[in-house]
Amino acid sequence: MSAFPLPAPMRRALDLASAAAEAGEVPVGAVVTRNGEVVAEAANSMRGSLDPTAHAEMVAIRMAAERLGSPRLDGCQLWVSLEPCAMCAGAIALARIEHLYFAADDPKGGGVVHGARVFSQPTCHHRPLVSGGLGEAEAADQLRRFFAERRG
């Protein structure tokens, strides 16, 4: 456990991930902030919505764009409990998210520091600042427990 408390948006993302797990969804939560205020938040909802694109990041980005009245989320930060996949990383770039914070790495499905490494591609025209590992142990534990229960 860290000697410092997590920033409130990451704490909220982890709480949303926990709620997703309780609902039978893969435990991932996402929060969009701007100027220190929460603009949107969401948890994974693929199973409940029957939508394969309803990753927490995608839902939160859609909500933030609607709330702000723009597809460009200039000056916004995205806080996510798991490294975004390639689809979500593409949406983050297209939305012009300023800074991506994520908790746990995703060596199998990540698209930021693993896998496709979307922001490193020459076709990616916007690259947010990226900070990983914030709340990593808790997020990784949530995911381990969720999948252990499914396999059990």
Residue 99 pLDDT > 50, yes or no? Answer: yes
Candidates 25, 41, 57, 138; catalytic one: 57
**Cβ neighbours of residue 132 under 8 Å, at least 6 residues apart?**
83, 101, 102, 103, 105, 112, 113
Distance (Å, rounded) from C-alpha 1 to C-alpha 96? Answer: 32
pLDDT tens for each residue of 3-56: 579 999 999 999 999 999 999 999 999 999 999 999 999 999 999 999 999 999
Q: May I ask the CATH class of domain 8-145?
A: alpha beta
**Interacting residues of 117 by C-beta distance below 8 A, sequence separation 6+:** 111
Q: Verify whether residue 41 is a known catalytic residue.
A: no
Q: Is 114 annotated as a binding residue?
A: no
Q: Does 76 appear as a known binding residue?
A: no
In the chain, what are the domain boundaries? 8-145
